[in-house]
A and B are shown apart, each in its own frame.
Chain A
Amino acid sequence: MIKQASDDEVKMMDLAKVIRSKNSGPFELTLDIMFDTEASYQRVKTANILGNDVIKELYQLKDDDILVNMYFDPALAWKCTIKRPWLQGSIGERDTLGTQQHAPLLTLRVPAVPKLVNR
């Protein structure tokens, strides 16, 4: 079912179709946010709310912990890959498949759609 959210400020979880985390290899964790319409994707892309400064704060990271932070237009998606903060599949493992590290992204604020002004 197509996700429909209001034009007012919303949470990312109200607008995105997919918000997830997974391992990408044994030394990386990758975060995906995916949209099901061009409109909601462009709304987030142009709002510029997923930059490294935001991710660093959200996940308590340093600059060189972030390996990739990019938008991918063909899939209407944003991806951010970080260094895995702990060993994969070994002692002290918290999340073998890396599937439960996405929660901070759910409540990210997406600003209201800017209103067009007729001149």
Chain B
Amino acid sequence: MGKIMECGGICAVPKGRSMIALMQQDSFDLVPLNPLERCTPLSVAAHTLYEKTRPDRLPGPGGVLDLNAAQYEQLADGRAVRVSGARFIPTPVYQIKLEGVERLGHRTIFIGGIRDPILISQIDEFLQSVREYTRNLYADLDKTDNCRLIFHVYGKNAVMGPLESASSIVHEIGIMGEVVAETQDKSHAIANNVRTSLLHMPYAGQLATTGNFASPLSPHEQDAGEVFRFSLYHLIDLEEGQEVSLFPVEHLIVEGTAQANSTETRLSDKDVEFFATTVAEPIGKPSCLTQGIRGRCVREANNRPQ
């Protein structure tokens, strides 16, 4: 239930913001706050895939949640779903996960575009010559992860990198350069040097001799702050009782005396009228019948990838 509730209304149809969960002895019920949304057995079961290595086994502190026998039942109101049958299998020793990071250094970035096709056609070689020139000036560049220059070439596999197998000839590329070094001053100096080389270095067949790089910003380089990487990602065995002593739980009862004002609302009269009178219809049919959901169908039809 925790895994579902941390994402709120994501498992509602249509996807919403808020969700209510009711815990029972051997099950829990989910119902979205918005009366126009509903949970279905499929929409809830589908959420077990979200951000998970696998949908049927969810490891966590102390053990694994086994969902192989989980059942998802639509309740009579047509909006709530009851989930049961999940089994928590404790590990022989209680384990928790430790995470930690180490500082790599300070990062400076620059972005810009290239439109000249003569340069675009040889961009890999050109960027390599920029890199080599800079390495000559800064001897520790690219020797460790604490002093690095990385180019992201948009239009040429910037998003997928080594996973990409598509390629195409583009009329324009974007380049984001990032430099990491021990101090802000050093990363800025290197980034500025690289960006200047990118702008002014010659290349074979060059006709445009005023500058190679279209920067949208000035100053051309931006401070991007400290940068870190994961250095610790480790399961640790606890001693008996530590799962309680390390993570004490305190229960508080909060009780007010004021009464809720049932007429007060942030909704307009029109919205109140709409929620009071509109009934959500099942969206299993090809045509959508309710105003709110039809609106979403029309939006989705327009946004379908071509």
Contact = CB atoms under 8 A, between A and B. Distances in A.
A1 B52 contact: no
Contact of B53 (A18, A36, A81, A104): A81
Interface string B17-52: 000000000000000000000000110011011111
Interface stretch (B156-164, B234-242, B270-278): B156-164
Contacts of B116: none
A26 B228 CA distance: 13
A94 interface: yes
A75 interface: yes
A2 B286 CA distance: 6
Interface in B157-186: 158-166, 178, 180
Main secondary structure of the interface of B (DSSP, over half): mixed
The interface size bin for chain B is 35 or more
B45 A60 contact: no
B51 A30 contact: yes
B233 A26 contact: yes
A28 B51 CA distance: 10
A41 to B, nearest CB: 10
Contact of A68 (B42, B53, B297, B305): B53
Contacts of B163: 59-61, 85, 101, 104
Nearest to A76: B42
Give the interface centre of A36, A60, A74, A103 by most chain B CB atoms within 10 Å. Answer: A74
Given A34-B46, A58-B165, A74-B72, A1 B283 contact: yes
Interface residues of A, number: 45
A74 B178 contact: no
Contact of B49 (A27, A28, A32): A32
B52 A24 contact: yes
A87 B230 contact: yes
A75 B233 contact: no
Contact of A91 (B50, B55, B159, B227): B227
B123 to A, nearest CB: 17
Interface of A: 1-2, 4, 13, 18, 22-28, 30, 32, 34, 36, 58-61, 67-68, 70, 72, 74-77, 79, 81, 85-92, 94-95, 100-101, 103-104, 106
